[in-house]
Amino acid sequence: MSESKTRIKFTVSYDGTDFCGWQRQNLQRETNGIEKPSLSRTLEKALEKVFKHPIDLCASGRTDAGVHAVNQVGHFDTTMTVEQLQRFDLGRATKSFLPSTIVIKKAWIAPPEFHATLSAERKTYRYLIYNSPTPSAFFSRTMGWMYKPLDLNYLNDCSKYLLGEHDFKSFQSVGSEVSTTVRTIYKAQWRWLRSDVAEFSITGSGFLKQMVRNIVGTQLLMARKGYPAEKMSEIIAKTDRKAAGPPAEPQGLYLMKVYYPLDLDNKCLEL
């Protein structure tokens, strides 16, 4: 007779600079030959030390190398009972086993039907750009950089064409198979966080591989070339990756929030 399992949902934040991305089999070699670890395996190793059994993590999505998260959502199953789980704080329990760039923020006992990937309804990402004639040594890990002044009115005009349901194949990088490239975008907006830091925030039903970075890179290219904002609609309609621009730098991208059905959220018991 198999042991009963308890499902744990958790949120984790991380600085993705020193990792090859979320996916553990995607190792990236630096120029000096050192292999960067994956975020998933780093977390699994820490959790295995706490729970004393193998851990197989699922996440809401796989962030790429260098990309950050404020609230990535994951889940795993454990043989620990509810009573045992309520005795400790998961963030504190794993802190000494994780690098300072990864922090488990909150954890819940979730119903067995909860799935970090399959249950997600929408996600919000943001992209930060340091807009200054010279780059910043302090923001080099956490923001993209653009030396020419940004016109956010123009960028917002471009972003309007992203709203609604479209086939976003023009913004899909190779390397991930999906059943459909159609997605719905609910919000896409630029704003100034301060005089030299711009933020692009986008919320959608889901995102293709490097889709947000490709959208940002395309908009920046359009601005440099002086294209009219409506060209964004033309790029979308072509459903051809060659029609869009290059991806923006990974360090400016953050997974901000993952949304789940309210009935599932209400069934989760915070630890």
Name the catalytic one among 56, 64, 151, 157.
Answer: 64
SS3 57: coil
Q: In a 3-state reduction of DSSP, which class is residue 92? A: helix
Q: Virtual CA dihedral for 132, 135, 137, 141, nearest 10 degrees?
A: 100
Q: In angstroms, rounded to a whole number, what is the distance separating the alpha carbons of residues 178 and 35?
A: 28
The span from the CA of 187 to the CA of 210, in Å, is: 18
- Do residues 231 and 154 make contact, with C-beta atoms less than 8 angstroms apart? no
Contact 80, 271 (CB under 8 A): no
Helix (H, G, I), strand (E, B) or coil at 85: helix
Degrees (nearest 5) of the Cα angle 84, 78, 6? Answer: 75
Round to whole Å and give the CA distance between 119 and 59. Answer: 11
64 is catalytic: yes
For 140, half-sphere exposure in the C-beta direction (CA atoms, 13 angstrom radius) is 6
Give exposure, 153-165, as e/b (b: 16+ Cβ within 10 Å): ebbbbbbebbeee
- CB burial of 57-74 (b: ≥16 within 10 Å; e: otherwise) equals bebbbbbbbbbbbbbbbb
- What is the DSSP-derived secondary structure letter of residue 35? B
Q: Catalytic site residues? A: 64
